[in-house]
Structure 1
Amino acid sequence: MQQRVRAIAAIGSRDAVSPAYARAATYVTGQLESVGWRVRAQRFEVPAGTSWGVRVPGGTSTNLIADPPGFDSTEPHVVIGAHLDTVPQAPGAEDNASGVATVVELARMLREQPAATPVRLVLFGAEEARVPAGTRYAFGSRHYVTTLTDAERRATRGMLALDRVGVAGRTVPVCSGGRGTASLARDVRAASPASVTNRCTNRASDHVSFEAAGIPAARLGSVPFDGYHSAGDVPSVVSDSQMRRTGAVAWAWLRSL
C-alpha cells in the first residue's frame, strides 16, 4: 500500500477541481479496473472558496464509483469510501492517500473473496472545506447521497469512510458522526478484538453526509499528527502496518455482515 501512497502523493496537492485531482482520479481508476472493478465518474459542481487560508476556484469535480460485476444498487449493499482531494498546502499522503490506498487494497481482496453483502466503493471529491469555518465541506459525498433514488437509499445498509488511516497509533479510531445512529460504529468495533479499536466522535469526513440522510455510517482513522494540512503531510508519516491494521478492521466488519 505504501507504493500507492507514494504514487498519489507524488502528484502533489489535489484541490477538487484541479488538473492534479484529475490525474489522481485517472491513476485510481486504473488501479481499481486492474483488479476487476467497473468505475464511472460522477461529476458535480464545487463552489469557489477558501481552503485553509488559500483561495480556491469553483468548478467541476468527480466522485469515482466502483462496482463489482453484476452489482445492483437497488439491492442491499454497503459503501466503503475515501476522499481523494487535499487542501492546497499538502501533498496529502496521510490525508488522504492512506485512505484511498487502503480502499484499493480492499478492492483487490473483495474480488478474491466477495463479501456476503455486496460492496460499492466510492472515492469522493471535494471533501475538504472551502471556507475558513469549515461549514461547507464533503461536497462529493453530499452530492452522491442526494442523487440516490429512494430504492438506492433504502438499499444502502451502511457506509464506512476511511480518512487519515496511516499515521501510527495504539489503536484504530472508529468514529461516529454524533448526529445520527452510532450502530455501525458499534458493529465495526464488535467485529474486531476490543484491543484493536477505540471509540470516538468525528464530524469531519464523508460519513457525515450519509449519517445526515439517515444511513448508518462511521469513520475509520484520525490519529493526530504534526503535518496535518501542511507540506509535511508526506509519505514518511504513513505507516504501512497502520494501514493494514485499518484494512483488517474494515475487512472483519465486511466478513461479519
Structure 2
Amino acid sequence: MIRRIAFAAGSLLVLTGCGEASPTPETSPTTTATAPATASRPSPTPSGTQAAPPLTPEQFRVETATDAVRHLAGEIGPRPGTSPAYRRAAAWVEGQLTGFGWQVHRQRFQTPAGVSWGIPVSAGESVNLVADRGDVRPGQPWLLVGAHLDTVPQAPGAEDNASGVAVLLAIAETAAGRSTRVPVRLVVFGSEEPRGETDDDHHYGSRAYVASLTPLERRSLAGMVSLDRVGVGEAVPACGARPGLDRTLASLRAAARRAKVPTTGCSRTPNRSSDHWSFVRAGLPGVRLGSTPYAAYHSPADTPDVVDPAQLVRTGRIMLAWLA
C-alpha cells in the first residue's frame, strides 16, 4: 500500500533497521517505519582542518527529502525540460545545493521539439546542475549520483521524479561535511523525459553530460547511480542495463545489505529507461535505483501524497552506505 506524505512536524516515518556537441560547464552565480529522522545538519569541512567525520546510512534526513517533494511537485508542478517551470525548479535546487556547501556549475544544452507522452513540447535550452565539493581530481576514482528534474507536461512529477531529486538533495546535505570513500559528484539532469519513440529521443541532459566528460574522467569514473522513481514500494528496485556483468550493481546491492534495506529487481530487465543508460551506452558504469510501478505514473495524479517517506529513507540509506 502506498503511504502518503504527511508534512506536519513529527509525522514523517523512517526506518529503524535497516550525440550532441559537448557543452561547456558554466559556473553559476549563485524495513519498518517507526520514528522520525533526527540526524543533525553537517557543515562542510574547511580545507586544512581536521578530517571530516564518516558517512553512515542512519544520517539520512527524511525531512529534507519530503520538503523537496512538496516544493517541486506541490508548488512548482509540471516542469518539462525547456519550460519556465523547469527553470524555476532548477534555480531552487541550485540554491539548496549551494546552501549545503556544494559548488554548482550549470551545463546548458539544447533539447529538440517533440511529443512527450502525447503532448507536443517545444525545442529550447535546458540545463544540468553539476555539483561537487571541490575534491574530484583528474585521474582519481570518483562516483556520480544523478536524478532527473524534468517531468512530462501533464504530471506534477512527485514520484517521477521529485522523489529522486529529493533523495539527491538529502544526500548532498549529509555528505557535505562528511567523508566518502572516494570523491562524489552530484548531477541533476534536465530533459530526461521522452520526446519521441526512439532511443535517441530522451535522456538529453545525461547524454550531454556524458559527451562533456574528458577521456581521463571517463577512465576514472568508478560508478554512477541514477535515482529515478524512488518513493513508492516497500523494497528498492536496483537494476542495470547489463545483467550479470555489472560490478556497480553488485556493489549497490552489497551496500543495501549493509544498510539493512531490502532490494528487488526492476520490472524491465535490462533497464534502459533512465539516465544511467546514457553512461552504459558510452561504455561507462551506470545503474538505476527505482522504478516500482504505480497508478499515477505520467499523470496529473502524480502528486506529493503518492510518495512514501519510508521508501525515500530506504533509498537514501542505500546510497549513503554505497558512498561511505
Instruction: Report the TM range for the smaller structure's normalisation.
Output: over 0.9
Q: What one-letter code is carried by the residue in structure 2 that aligns with 1:241?
A: A
Matching of residue 206 in structure 1 with residue 275 in structure 2: yes
Moved more, 158-167 or 112-121: 112-121
Larger Rg: 2
Q: Could you say which structure has the higher helix fraction?
A: 1
Deviation track 1:3-37 (CA, whole Å, cap 9, x = no partner) reads: 11010112111110000000000000000001100
Given that residues 179 and 211 in structure 1 are in contact (C-alpha distance below 8 angstroms), is that contact kept between their aligned partners in structure 2?
no
CA distance in 2, matches of 1:71, 1:246: 24
Matching of residue 228 in structure 1 with residue 297 in structure 2: yes
Percent identity for Structure 1 against Structure 2? 50
**What's 1:196 paired with?**
262
Q: What one-letter code is carried by the residue in structure 1 that aligns with 2:71?
A: A
Q: What one-letter code is carried by the residue in structure 2 that aligns with 1:197?
A: T
**What's 2:221 paired with?**
156
- TM-score (norm. length: structure 2): 0.75
Structure scoring higher RCO (CA < 8 A, sep ≥ 6) equals 2
SS of alignment partner, residue 127 of structure 1: coil
1:191 shift after superposition: 1.9
CA distance in 2, matches of 1:115, 1:144: 23
Given that residues 51 and 132 in structure 1 are in contact (C-alpha distance below 8 angstroms), is that contact kept between their aligned partners in structure 2?
no
1:170 shift after superposition: 2.6
CA distance in 1, matches of 2:111, 2:138: 25
Matching of residue 6 in structure 1 with residue 70 in structure 2: yes
1:210 shift after superposition: 0.6
SS of alignment partner, residue 284 of structure 2: coil
CA distance in 1, matches of 2:145, 2:308: 21
1:214 shift after superposition: 1.3
SS of alignment partner, residue 302 of structure 2: coil
Structure 2: segments with no counterpart, 5+ residues: 1-64
Aligned alpha-carbon RMSD (Å): 1.6
Matching of residue 102 in structure 1 with residue 167 in structure 2: yes
Deviation track 1:93-151 (CA, whole Å, cap 9, x = no partner) reads: 11000000100000111113220210000000010000146651101001100111101
- TM-score (norm. length: structure 1): 0.94
**What's 1:50 paired with?**
115
Q: What one-letter code is carried by the residue in structure 2 that aligns with 1:109?
A: T
CA change 1:213–1:179 in 2 (3 A) is farther
Deviation track 1:47-94 (CA, whole Å, cap 9, x = no partner) reads: 100000100011110000001034335421010000000000101011
Within the candidate set 232, 238, 250, 2:319 is matched to: 250
SS of alignment partner, residue 7 of structure 1: helix
Given that residues 156 and 303 in structure 2 are in contact (C-alpha distance below 8 angstroms), is that contact kept between their aligned partners in structure 1?
yes
Q: What one-letter code is carried by the residue in structure 2 that aligns with 1:21?
A: Y
Within the candidate set 219, 225, 240, 1:176 is matched to: 240
1:2 shift after superposition: 1.1
Query: Which 4+ stretches in 1 moved above 6 angstroms?
Result: none
CA distance in 2, matches of 1:97, 1:195: 21
CA distance in 1, matches of 2:192, 2:256: 28
**What's 2:8 paired with?**
none
1:213 shift after superposition: 1.3
Deviation track 1:171-217 (CA, whole Å, cap 9, x = no partner) reads: 10001023894221111001222761113332100000111111111
Given that residues 17 and 46 in structure 1 are in contact (C-alpha distance below 8 angstroms), is that contact kept between their aligned partners in structure 2?
yes
**What's 2:137 paired with?**
72
Q: What one-letter code is carried by the residue in structure 1 that aligns with 2:253?
A: R
CA distance in 2, matches of 1:163, 1:115: 22
